[in-house]
Structure 1
Amino acid sequence: MAGSPFEWIDEQARARRRAGLVRTLRPRPADSPLLDLAGNDYLGLARHPEVTEAAAGAARRWGGGATGSRLVSGSTELHAELERELAAFCGFESALVLSSGYAANLAAVTALAPHGSLVVSDAGNHASLIDGCRLARGTTQVVAHADPDAVRKALGTHGGPAVVVSDTVFSVDGDAAPLAGLAAACRESGAALVLDDAHGLGVLGEGGRGAARAAGLAGAPDVVTTVTLSKSLGSQGGAVLGPAPVIDHLVNAARTFIFDTGLAPAAAGAALAALRLLRREPQRAARARAVATALHERLTAAGLEAVRPDAAVVSVRASSPDRAVRWAADCREAGIAVGCFRPPSVPDGVSRLRLTARADLTEEQLDRAVRVIIEARR
């Protein structure tokens, strides 16, 4: 009898174990005692009473699921309301809500990069942008990280339609993209600019209105932004923001919109409540940035190698994958949950702890987190 067709999986599993790169699921209890610096709840809104009650109310009114794709039965008045308010808050003409930030990036890149086009992608982009480039019918050219001159050079080799795609804040180190330089390079060649603002919405710009708004690019006819509703807004889902003709095009051409079930009403309701709360309490954005700065300053003062944060992500370098795993485990044992990034998730091959600042952290919690991280390093 022939062997299993999945024997190759066993060999890959053995290789991962040898390299210390095995990933495991760790279900989180509802009443976890851990102080969370691993998730992306930047504004502390995921459990805010207004947000959770809005989610419950939406489920009671509209049902547990959207029931179908947005073009069939999955669009509710709640989805439309969220789209209008999200576009207005961020300064764009129109918005389209999808089931995840990942789906939003796939929609934007694939629908805006047809056959014959050039896609210029930053080497540090998130996996969802990378996968969008792989699925697009255009030709992709990867360029050096955060380098407008490299983008300009790539665009200069192509005479047809082109689109540049970049995170606004890169998820590994938390550094910001040079948006003004990227926009200038695009406009010299007539290229479009697609920005993934997953880590900028709620943290950067006036009152958390996002990186594109902060850079003066919101509402521009050549700029499209994607966002996630699962980080600062404490919910789930994603959206594409841009000129109305672009959004109309996505409704007709983006496969992750057309063929996917619409965002669950509970998630739409939660995101809308969180957006309204942020509009009412804009100081939350500044607080998240202040916590990130404090984490960086205190950790580097203790001799750790941390990247200066441009938003709410603080990256702390580890000497090896094994050291990063042990460090994160020791932090967890002491009551602090931190992220642990290792190859192949990091493009530079450098393992690190990834800390996410939260606007709702108290000074006592901040002191405790810093103390644990420093002591667990030893």
Structure 2
Amino acid sequence: MHPFEGLAEALAEREAAGLYRRRRVIEGAQGPRLHVHGRELLAFCSNDYLGLAGDPRLAEALARGAREMGTGSGAAHLVSGHHRAHHALEEELAAFVGAERALLFSTGYMANLGVIPALLGRGDTVIEDRLNHASLIDGARLSGARLRRWPHGDLAGLQRQLGHASGRVLVAVDAVFSMDGDRAPLGELARLVAQHEAALMIDDAHGFGVLGPLGRGSLAAAGLGFDAVPLYMATLGKALGVAGAFVAGSELLVETLIQRARPYVYTTAMPPALAEATRAALRIAAEEDWRRERLRALTERFRREAAGLGLCLADSDTPIQPLLLGDAATALRWSEALAMRGILVPAIRPPTVPEGSARLRITFSAAHEEADLDHLLEALDSVRREAA
């Protein structure tokens, strides 16, 4: 059978089910207002939580780095691609989160694909929350270890899985769940995992830069250190507005990943100019606490006023605010109705979220103004009344 046989029929079925995805072509810099196919839309769908993706200071740092160090690294870190800019960024990231070492990866997906197989294999066990990001699930599958999953947020379910685990045991969890916006109970998880002599890994893609003092992330927000959570991953393309990811932990962990994490060993290093832009972003994120304060204020006001409109929101205190609508067709209709009113919030549908939980994933940025939130609330109320 030809490997392309049946593809056209499968795509048609996806279209009929309201699950077909199409890309939007964006022009200009990221920000609250995006130019999409010739229209300006007010966007509430980005992960640019601190509003740094379009910050001219980062662009200048990137340009300066490119002038001094070129546009590419030329090779993998272990060949000739590890520049002083990468090394300085790793040291600054480690200091920022309070770890002995940090190691750069090109993306968060690659980090999770690299870390778990580097540490576990056949005969070992990985246990994950059912709503974990796909990269954590794929990393576990790639390792060859047994993958067990517990119902979302169910610590009793995790305890049962820990009781049946064998070999080396790693518990991996999103610190902030990307589609629901809720936080993992890290303190309780750390205590439970320690009782079973397992290790805890967190993916803090949506907490780093946003939560904790100075935006140091979910560990700091929970008052935990690397003794409780020895394996920490966070991305740089969300709150910091650049690209890439890092893993932080002990000297022993990082040296092991340098030797054994295949996406690190066999991937060309990120451009050193990008590392310079990331260093600038890290400094700005730490110094400009008003960005996190505005995020909190926008989120709290939105939840308060959305409740007054009778909108069904998920239980989240983060900038990720899912508006639960149920089926994919309804979510698409609401998204299209908002777009007609000049607001961009794409519909999130299965398999990204479970069947029956399609939604609008509304996200806030420190670059949003109160007037932007006014516009969003007015549009949502209009769509709600129209749907009723």
TM-score by length of 1: 0.95
- 2:26 maps to amino acid: R
Correspondent of 1:289 among 286, 296, 309:
296
Whether 2:329 is the aligned partner of 1:322: answer yes
Whether 2:155 is the aligned partner of 1:157: answer no
Counterpart contact for 1:118–1:160, Cα < 8 Å? yes
Deviates more, 1:151-160 or 1:8-17: 151-160
Task: Report the counterpart of residue 381 of structure 2 in structure 1.
Answer: 374
- Residue 156 of structure 1, CA deviation: 1.5
| 1:154-180 Cα deviation digits (max 9, x unpaired) | 111124210000000001110101111
Correspondent of 1:27 among 11, 25, 28:
25
- Residue 343 of structure 1, CA deviation: 0.8
* Partner Cα separation in structure 2 for residue 349 and residue 120 of structure 1: 25
- Residue 19 of structure 1, CA deviation: 0.4
Task: Report the counterpart of residue 242 of structure 1 in structure 2.
Answer: 249
SS at match of 2:90: helix
Whether 2:301 is the aligned partner of 1:303: answer no
Counterpart contact for 1:289–1:357, Cα < 8 Å? no
Whether 2:170 is the aligned partner of 1:167: answer no
Whether 2:116 is the aligned partner of 1:109: answer yes
- 2:116 maps to amino acid: V
Counterpart contact for 1:66–1:75, Cα < 8 Å? yes
- Residue 376 of structure 1, CA deviation: 2.6
Counterpart contact for 1:293–1:309, Cα < 8 Å? no
SS at match of 2:6: helix
Task: Report the counterpart of residue 13 of structure 1 in structure 2.
Answer: 11
User: For 1:90-109, what aligned pairs fall within 5 Å after superposition?
Assistant: 90-109=97-116
Counterpart contact for 2:153–2:184, Cα < 8 Å? yes
SS at match of 2:126: strand
* Partner Cα separation in structure 1 for residue 156 and residue 23 of structure 2: 41
| 1:100-135 Cα deviation digits (max 9, x unpaired) | 111111122222222221100110001111111111
- Residue 221 of structure 1, CA deviation: 6.3
Task: Report the counterpart of residue 200 of structure 1 in structure 2.
Answer: 207
User: For 1:131-142, what aligned pairs fall within 5 Å after superposition?
Assistant: 131-142=138-149
Q: Which runs of 5+ in 1 are unaligned?
A: none
Task: Report the counterpart of residue 31 of structure 2 in structure 1.
Answer: none
Alpha carbons of structure 1 residues 291 and 266: separation in structure 2 relative to 1, 3 Å:
farther
* Partner Cα separation in structure 2 for residue 203 and residue 230 of structure 1: 13
- 1:12 maps to amino acid: A
User: For 1:46-85, what aligned pairs fall within 5 Å after superposition?
Assistant: 46-85=53-92
Whether 2:330 is the aligned partner of 1:355: answer no
Deviates more, 1:26-35 or 1:310-319: 26-35
- Residue 347 of structure 1, CA deviation: 2.7
- Residue 226 of structure 1, CA deviation: 0.5
Counterpart contact for 1:116–1:139, Cα < 8 Å? yes
- 2:100 maps to amino acid: E
- 2:201 maps to amino acid: V
Counterpart contact for 1:205–1:213, Cα < 8 Å? yes
| 1:25-79 Cα deviation digits (max 9, x unpaired) | 1110116222221110000001111111111112222221221111112211111
Q: Which runs of 5+ in 2 are unaligned?
A: 29-33
SS at match of 1:172: coil
TM-score by length of 2: 0.93
Runs of 4 or more consecutive aligned structure 1 residues displaced over 4 Å after TM superposition? none
- 2:249 maps to amino acid: G
